[in-house]
């Protein structure tokens, strides 16, 4: 787990946070300090605001991996002017994909274990810094399956950090946790939201001056059908040991060829550059000659038949390929050109994982 701390630009820094922090003092005369999980959705932003409103010092934390999109969290941290810790969660989430103790949700999303482990990691940081709490934006019964009382309790227990965990938006409907019991956090200034209505959150957003926020879903590729088809194919055929292959799931079109090799086809110039740059001596790189088209990568150990199929796919994705395209096969310092008849894209689609 690595932690990159991003201090937001302070042009709009609001000194009221610090003033409030000195007013809202806890047990030892110091403001309580905590990390708040920030997805970028409105509830996670409000959790930060509610804790800050009672004088706590709050920093935000987001977990990054090839499966998560964290742009919304960065934007939210900037809008709230809160320091954001970006923590690499790749090894953790890959481990959960292999063995999710509580299973998967509707796709390949091990949400209970993932959420619990994020809280655990945040809690470990809180403990190591001598801080007081971990906050999340969960709202009791907002999602019937994942945010009911049983699920919230389960996640808290599985995280091993139940004592430190505060759900500020629904805290008054949940049992008090340690920072509330010992007075570092004022329970009476936490909220009692419950249910699916978003009305209260919208009112709070207006109260806190939050004007823009993304829709609640959309930050996790493990819930997306097409992405999960590629991931399932990788898990079952090649495994998840090679992090480059895991990170390439977000890159290019993927084809599982008849002989068993996988080829990845760049979709634009940026992806072509990245595929070439991240290829290794174990890869074969294909490039069209004299016509714009994709970079294609497949294992150098692929069968001759799969190589020729990959070359035909490469030719088929070139711009105006005509009846034949010269494809250059690069392996280390070796190069070899072949004239290839393009394969129609619709025909190649049969090998895309579904």
Binding site for ligand SF4 (CB under 6 A): 68, 109-111, 114-115, 220, 222-223
Smallest gap from residue 115 Cβ to ligand SF4 (A):
4
Token code pair at residue 235: 């898990």
Give the nearer residue to ligand SF4 in terms of CB position, either 24 or 41.
41
Give the nearer residue to ligand SF4 in terms of CB position, either 114 or 134.
114
Smallest gap from residue 145 Cβ to ligand SF4 (A):
12
Give the nearer residue to ligand SF4 in terms of CB position, either 112 or 251.
112
Smallest gap from residue 353 Cβ to ligand SF4 (A):
20
Smallest gap from residue 297 Cβ to ligand SF4 (A):
27
Helices (H), the chain: 16-23, 42-53, 71-80, 90-98, 111-129, 149-159, 178-181, 199-208, 225-237, 243-247, 269-278, 304-316, 345-348
Give the nearer residue to ligand SF4 in terms of CB position, either 24 or 40.
40
Q: List the one residue out of 228, 287, 284 whose CA is nearest residue 261.
A: 284
Token code pair at residue 343: 């394969």
Pairing state between β 253-256 and 283-289: unpaired
Alpha carbon distance 67, 253 (integer Å): 16
Smallest gap from residue 293 Cβ to ligand SF4 (A):
35
Smallest gap from residue 228 Cβ to ligand SF4 (A):
11
Give the nearer residue to ligand SF4 in terms of CB position, either 41 or 288.
41
Give the nearer residue to ligand SF4 in terms of CB position, either 231 or 308.
231
Read off φ and ψ for residue 278, nearest 5 degrees.
-95, 5
Please, what's the b/e burial string for 64-82 (b: 16 or more CB within 10 A of its CB; e: otherwise)? bbbbbebebbbebbebbbb
């Amino acid at each position: 787990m690595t932690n990159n701390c991003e201090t937001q630009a302070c042009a709009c820094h609001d000194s009221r946070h610090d003033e409030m922090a000195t007013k809202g003092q806890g047990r030892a005369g110091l403001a309580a300090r905590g990390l708040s999980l920030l997805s970028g959705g409105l509830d996670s932003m409000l959790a930060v605001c509610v804790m800050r409103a009672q004088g706590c010092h709050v920093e935000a934390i987001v977990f990054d991996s090839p499966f998560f999109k964290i742009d919304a969290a960065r934007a939210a941290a900037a809008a709230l002017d809160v320091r954001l810790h970006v923590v690499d969660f790749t090894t953790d989430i890959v481990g959960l994909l292999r063995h999710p103790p509580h299973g998967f949700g509707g796709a390949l999303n091990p949400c209970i274990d993932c959420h619990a482990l994020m809280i655990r990691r945040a809690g470990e940081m809180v403990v190591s810094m001598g801080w007081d709490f971990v906050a999340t934006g969960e709202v009791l019964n907002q999602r019937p399956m994942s945010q009911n009382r049983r699920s919230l309790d389960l996640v808290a227990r599985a995280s091993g950090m139940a004592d430190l965990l505060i759900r500020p938006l629904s805290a008054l409907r949940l049992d008090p946790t340690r920072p509330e019991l010992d007075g570092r956090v004022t329970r009476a200034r936490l909220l009692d939201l419950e249910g699916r209505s978003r009305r209260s959150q919208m009112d709070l957003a207006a109260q806190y001056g939050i004007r823009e926020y993304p829709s609640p879903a959309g930050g996790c590729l493990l819930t997306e059908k097409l992405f999960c088809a590629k991931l399932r194919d990788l898990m079952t055929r090649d495994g998840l040991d090679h992090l480059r292959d895991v990170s390439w799931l977000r890159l290019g079109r993927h084809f599982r060829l008849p002989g068993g090799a996988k080829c990845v086809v760049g979709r634009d110039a940026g992806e072509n550059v990245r595929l070439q740059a991240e290829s290794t001596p174990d890869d074969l790189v294909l490039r069209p000659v004299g016509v714009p088209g994709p970079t294609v990568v497949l294992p150098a150990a692929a069968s001759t038949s799969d190589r020729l199929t990959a070359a035909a796919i490469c030719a088929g994705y070139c711009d105006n390929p005509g009846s034949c395209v010269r494809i250059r096969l690069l392996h280390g310092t070796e190069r070899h050109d072949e004239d290839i008849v393009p394969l129609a894209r619709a025909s190649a689609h049969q090998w895309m994982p579904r």
